[in-house]
């Protein structure tokens, strides 16, 4: 299978997927103070919420192009981050924010938030392309909205 994502009718999915989305919306709209309160209102466990919160999304016309949050572990070598940024630019990714931790044990973690609306390849192919760059230890998709 080429893609990791499917479009599936929610009629065949367990109802807790909807409840995870409801809980996330309660939190985003600040209608509740914390996750415990949100999951209690919608009727799911905290573990169910944490298990699926980064994997279940509603389609939305206004955010169809969406943003992706990726985590990259780089070797502490000059030009490593520059190579990643150049690659993202080459596939028409638009970087919104970059957070880089101090290098420890010759590796640094970088979190990048990017718009993926105009990517010339899929987000999965983008992640795989980053993984193939020299000095990249690991790259994974953390979240997409």
Q: Is 130 a residue whose pLDDT tops 60?
A: yes
Mean pLDDT of 76-101: 95
Q: Is 85 a residue whose pLDDT tops 60?
A: yes
Distance (Å, rounded) from C-alpha 76 to C-alpha 106?
A: 5
- pLDDT score at 20: 93
More confident residue, 60 or 16: 16
- pLDDT score at 62: 44
CB atoms within 10 A of CB 106: 10
**HSE toward the beta carbon, residue 26, CA cutoff 13 A:** 20
The structure's pTM equals 0.58
pLDDT tens digits along 34-81: 999 999 999 999 999 999 988 887 765 444 458 899 999 999 999 999
More confident residue, 3 or 74: 74
């Amino acid at each position: 299978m080429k893609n990791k994502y499917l479009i599936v009718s929610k009629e065949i999915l367990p109802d807790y997927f909807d409840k995870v989305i409801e809980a996330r919306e309660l939190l985003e709209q600040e209608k509740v103070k914390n996750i415990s309160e949100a999951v209690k209102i919608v009727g799911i466990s905290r573990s169910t919420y944490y298990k699926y919160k980064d994997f279940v999304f509603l389609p939305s016309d206004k955010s169809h192009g969406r943003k992706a949050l990726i985590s990259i572990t780089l070797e502490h070598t000059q030009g490593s981050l520059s190579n990643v940024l150049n690659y993202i630019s080459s596939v028409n990714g638009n970087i919104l924010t970059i957070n880089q931790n101090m290098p420890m044990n010759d590796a640094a973690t970088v979190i990048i938030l990017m718009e993926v609306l105009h990517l010339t390849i899929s987000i999965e192919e983008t992640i795989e392309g980053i993984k193939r760059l020299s000095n990249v230890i690991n790259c994974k998709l953390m979240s997409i909205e």
